[in-house]
Structure 1
Amino acid sequence: MKRFLIAIPFVIVFLILFSCSSNTQNWTHFRGSDMNGHANVEKAPLHWSDTENVVWKVPVKGVGWSSPVVFGNQVWLTSAEEDGTKFYTFCFDLKTGKLLDEKILFTAEDPQRIHSTNSYATPTPCIEKGRVYVHYGTFGTACIDTKNFELIWKREDLPCDHMQGPASSPIIYKNMLIVHLEGTKDPYVVALDKATGETIWKSVRPKEIYDPLEPVYRKSYQTPIVISADGKELLISNSAYMCFAHDVNTGEVIWTFTYGYDSTVSQPLYWNGLVFVNSGWIFLDNTPFFTRQYAINPTGKGDVTNSKMVWMCEDEVPQIPTPVIVDGKMYMVHDRGMVTCLDAMTGKPVWKEKLKGNFNASPIYAAGNIYFINVKGDCTIIKPGETFQKVAENSINETVKAIPAFVGDQMILRTKDNLYLIK
C-alpha cells in the first residue's frame, strides 16, 4: 500500500505530461484546436525557406485553400480540381510526408462558378480521435474513419448557391458537426449528428429580414465558434447582415446583432467575456465602404444591437483574416497588409505597422510570437507587446492562403502546390 501511495504522484505527473504532449501534437480545426489562433506549443520554427529547415515537402493534387488538420501522426487535407469536377481528401504521415490515403469523395458535372480568388476546397476539415470530417459546401460533406480510411457517411443534399464558392469550415461540438450554408437564397446553418450525418437541427435565416435584401448581400463565408455565456451554450455566427447567437443544442436564436450587408469571412473571437465579430463589407449607396470589428457583451436576449455593443472599430479592419488576441491585445492584419494592435477591452489602438503584400491567412500565435503570412508566402514574425517588434522574416516562395498548423516544435504549411513540414 505504501509503495502504491508513493507511486500515485508519479502516475499523475505522467498523465499530465502525456496529456500536454498529446495536445501539442493535434491541430483539430480551422485556426487550431481551440479555434482562437493559439498554438499549444513551446517551440516553433523561426527561420526557413523552400529548402532551409524543410523536413519534408510533398506535392498536393488539385487546388485548395483549406488548412491542414493534424491528429496523432496523421495530417489531413482537402483539395479539388480547379474546375470543380472532383473533390479530394489526402492523409499524410506526419513524420515522413508519405501519402497514406487519397480519395475522390464527390464529383460534379456542372459545378457552380466561384470567385477567381477562391477554390472549390477552401473549408478546412475538422478531426478528432478516429474520425475526420470534410466539407465542400453544397458539393458535399463527409466523415471518414481515420483508422481504416473507410467512408462512414456522406451528405450531398445540403443545397447552397454560394455565388463565390464555399469557404465556411465545419466545427465539432459534442455529438454534432455544425456547418454553414449561407448563399444567395435561404441561407441556413445546420447541425448534423457526427456519428450518422443525420440532421439534428436546422436554422434558416429569417425571411422577413433576408428576402428584402439583394441576393448578393445574403451570402456569408464565416466559421462559427461556441461559447458559454449567461448559463447558455451559444453558437456565435456572424452571418451576412447580422450576427446570430444560437442555442447550440437546439438551434434556437437567443440574440441578434445587426451591422448590415455582405460577405462575412473573418471568424468570431471570444475573450474575457466579450464576443468579437466582423461585419464583412458594409455598403453605402451600393458601394463597398468599410469592414467593422465589433466587441459585444453576449449575455443579452433578442435584438442587442443598441444595448450590448462595447466598442466598434472601422479603421483598417480586415475582411478575410481573423485577428488573434494575446495578453489582452487584439492583433489584426488588413487584407492589404496594415497590422493594427488594439486594446481588446476598449478597442483603442496601441500601434500600427505596414507589412508588405496582401493577406488571406489569419495570424497565428505560437511559442511567444505571432506569425503573419502573406499571399506570396512571405512570413513576418513579431513579438506581441506595446510596440511593433519584428523577430524574423522568411519566404516559402509560393502562394499561401491557408493557415499553418503548429504541432510539437514543427509547422505544417500548405501552399498552392505543396505541403511542407518545417522545423
Structure 2
Amino acid sequence: MVANSSMAENWTQFRGANTDGTAADAKLPGEIAEDKNLAWKIEVPGKGWSSPVTWGNEIWLTTATPEGDEMFVLSYDATSGKQLKNIKVFENDVTRFCHPTNSFASPTPVIEDGRIYVHFGSYGTACLNTKTGEKIWERRDLECNHWRGPGSSPIVDGDNLIVSYDGFDVQYVVAFNKDTGKTEWKQDRNIDYGTDNGDRKKAYGTGQVVEFDGRRQVVLPSAVETISYDPASGKELWRVRHGGMNAAARPLFGNGLIYIAAGSGERSLIAVRPDGNGDISDSHVEWGSSKSVPRRPSQILIGERLFMISDQGVASCLDAVSGEIVWQKRVGSGGEIRSSPVMAGGLIYSFGVEGEVVVFAASDEFELVSQSKLEDGFQASPAIHDNALIVRGVRHLYRFESK
C-alpha cells in the first residue's frame, strides 16, 4: 500500500516536523547493520550533507557536484528506493571555497503539501512544485561569503521562509514570502564579535520558532550571540551573549527554557528564559555548561532530560531544569560525530563520520542497546518515516526497518 500524507508522519525539515529530532511513537529496530533490518540501500549522486525530508511516500534531498557548479534536488520512492526525480535547480559559473568537510548542499530543505523549498546559501533559494518539478520562484541576489560553505537550513513560519546568512563578510537574517519569494524583512545581526577575523563570525545554525507567554518569536543562533526576532516583522526582541563560533545545533524549547548550543566557548550550552527584552545575557540565563557539549550535533530534549552526544562520542544526559549532569559515557570507538541524533520509542540513534552506529536508551541510567559499523560514513542527520529510519550517507541512502 502506498502511504500518503495523512497516513505517514512527514519529516518536513531539519530535525523533523517536531523540529527536535524525535518521533516518539515510531517503532524502529534496535540494531542497525548492513545485514540486519536493512530494507534497501541505493547510491546517491553528487555530494551533499543535507538531511532527507519526506512527504507521503516520497523522500527528498539536495545534492551538488563536488565543485558546486551544479545543484540538484532529488526524490525517491520511500518503499522501494527508486529514484523519482532529479531536478537541476542552479548552475554556477563561479563558486567560492568550500571546506572538504562541508558540501555545497548542506542546508536541509523544507517540504509542504505540493511544495519544497531548497536553499544553497548565497548560491540561491528556490521553491519547486513537488508534483511537476517546476520552479515557482527563485532568489539568487543575496550576497554572503560563506567561506567554508553554507550550512544553515531554512524554516517556515506562517507565510514566511526564514533563513540565516552568517558569513565571513556579512551576517544577517532574511524572511522571504514563501509564495512569491519576495523579501518581507531583512535584519543585520549587528553583533560585536570582538574581532575583524571573519572566520570567527561564521555560523551554521537553524532557527527555532517559539510561542511563550503569548509572544511568538524565532530564535536564531549566530557566532557569539543568539538573537530572537518577531517572525512576522523581523523586529529584534532579545539577544543573549554566549561566545563561541560556528554554531550549528538547532535550539530546543521546553520547560519554559530555550536550550542553545553555541558551538564553542565557556558557555557552549545555555538554558535561557525567552520572556526578556533587549540584552538578557545577565538576567535570563538559568544555567550554562561546557563539559562534552557537541559543536555540531543537536541535542534531544525529552521532558526534563536533555540528551546529547559530542563530536568525540561522549554521550550525556543532563537535568534540563538545573543543568546538572545525570550521566556521561563515552560510546563507540571514539570516531568523530557530526550528524544530529534522532529518538524514537525511547531509543536514541547516532551515526558517525566513519560509519559507526550507536543506539542507546533515553533513560536516567546509561544503557547501550547496540553498536555496529556501516560501510558508508555519515554527515547528514537521519529522518524517520513511519516506522523506518532513513539515513543519508556520504555515498548512499539507506532505509532501515524492523524485519
Give the TM bin, normalised by the shorter chain: over 0.9
> Deviation at 1:76?
0.4
Per the alignment, residue 262 of structure 2 pairs with 279
- Residue aligning to 1:50: 34
Which of residues 63, 85, 93 is equivalent to 1:79? 63
5+ long unaligned stretches in structure 2: none
Match of 1:187 among 165, 171, 175: 171
| Structure 2 residue aligned with 1:394 | 372
CA displacement 1:317-365 (0-9 Å, x = unmatched): 1110011012311111110111111000000000111012211011111
**Which deviates the most, 48-57 or 299-308?**
48-57
Distance 2:33 2:361 in 1: 20
Q: Is the 8 A contact 1:86 1:108 kept in 2?
A: yes
The structural deviation recorded for 1:210 is: 4.9
- For 1:241 and 1:368, how far apart are their aligned partners in 2? 34
Query: % of aligned pairs identical?
Result: 36
**Which structure: larger Rg?**
1
In structure 2, relative to structure 1, the CA distance for the partners of 1:307 and 1:211 (3 Å cut) is: closer
Question: Residues 377 and 291 of structure 1: is their aligned pair in 2 closer, same or farther, counting only changes over 3 Å?
Answer: farther
Q: Considering only aligned residues, what root-mean-square deviation do their CA atoms show, in Å? A: 1.7
- Mapped to 2, the partners of 1:235 and 1:279 lie a distance apart of 16
**Matched position secondary structure for 1:237:** strand
Whichever residue aligns with residue 79 of structure 2, its letter is K
Name the structure 1 match of 2:72: 88
**2:137 is the alignment partner of 1:161:** no
Indicate if the aligned counterparts of 1:374 and 1:401 stay in contact, CA closer than 8 A: yes
Amino acid at match of 2:387: D
1:125-136 equivalence runs, <5 A: 125-136=109-120
What secondary structure, in the 3-state scheme, does the structure 2 residue paired with 1:149 have?
A: coil
Tell me the CA shift for residue 22 of structure 1: 3.1
- Structure 2: distance between partners of 1:361 and 1:36: 13
Match of 1:350 among 326, 336, 340: 326
Decide whether the 8 Å contact of 1:382 with 1:389 is kept in 2: yes
Deviation at 1:40, TM superposition (A): 4.7
1:211 to partner: Cα distance: 8.3
Show the counterpart of 1:298: 274
Work out which of the residue numbers 25, 31, 36 in structure 1 matches 2:20: 36
Name the residue aligned to 2:337: 359
CA distance in 1, matches of 2:130, 2:394: 25
Alpha-carbon spacing, 1:291–1:358, altered in 2? closer, same or farther (3 Å): farther
> Within 2, Cα distance between the matches of 1:112 and 1:159?
12
| Offset, 1:23 | 6.8
Cα distance, 1:175 vs structure 2: 0.8
Q: Is the 8 A contact 1:69 1:125 kept in 2?
A: yes
CA distance in 1, matches of 2:25, 2:107: 24
Q: Given the alignment, which residue of 217, 220, 224 partners 1:241?
A: 224
Q: State the partner residue of 1:309.
A: 285
Determine if contact 1:369/1:381 at 8 Å carries over to the other structure. Answer: yes
Q: Does residue 381 of structure 1 match 2:365?
A: no
Does the C-alpha gap of structure 1 residues 305 and 213 become closer, same or farther in structure 2, counting only changes over 3 Å? farther
Which 5+ residue runs of structure 1 have no aligned equivalent? 1-17, 283-289
User: Could you tell me which of 194, 198, 203 is aligned with 1:215?
Assistant: 198
Tell me if the contact between 1:291 and 1:318 (Cα under 8 Å) persists in the aligned partners.
Answer: no
1:228 maps to 211
Distance in 2 (CA, whole Å) between partners of 1:100 and 1:329 is 40
Letter in 1 for 2:123: F
**Structure 1 counterpart SS, 2:262:** strand
Q: Which runs of 4+ in 1 moved over 6 A?
A: none
- Name 2:297's counterpart in structure 1: 321
The amino acid that maps onto 1:33 is A
Q: Tell me if structure 1 keeps the 8 A contact 2:145–2:170.
A: no
What's the counterpart of residue 110 of structure 1? 94
Q: Distance in 1 between matches of 2:62 and 2:209?
A: 24
TM-fit CA distance, 1:51: 3.9
Q: Deviations over 1:62-118 (max 9, x none)?
A: 011111000001110101111111111101111111111111111222211012211
Alpha-carbon distance, 1:214 to partner: 2.6
Counterpart residue identity of residue 65, structure 2: E
CA contact (8 A) 2:255 2:303 kept: no
Alignment match, 1:9: none
| Number of aligned positions between the proteins | 397
* Partner residue of 2:157 out of 157, 166, 173: 173
Deviation at 1:395, TM superposition (A): 2.6
The letter of the residue matching 1:368 is: G
Q: Residue in 2 aligned with 1:147?
A: 131
For 2:194 and 2:400, the matched residues in 1 are separated by 48
Superposition deviation, residue 220 in structure 1: 1.0
Q: Distance in 2 between matches of 1:369 and 1:375?
A: 20
Q: Distance in 1 between matches of 2:98 and 2:35?
A: 33
Offset, 1:398: 0.8
Deviations 1:262-310 (A, max 9, x none): 211111111121001112223xxxxxxx561000001000110000010
TM-score for the superposition, normalised by structure 1: 0.90
2:24, 2:346 within 8 Å by CA — same for their partners in 1? no
Contact 2:341 2:382 survives alignment (8 Å): no
1:263 pairs with 2:239: no
Q: CA deviation at 1:56?
A: 2.0
Q: Distance in 1 between matches of 2:263 and 2:369?
A: 31
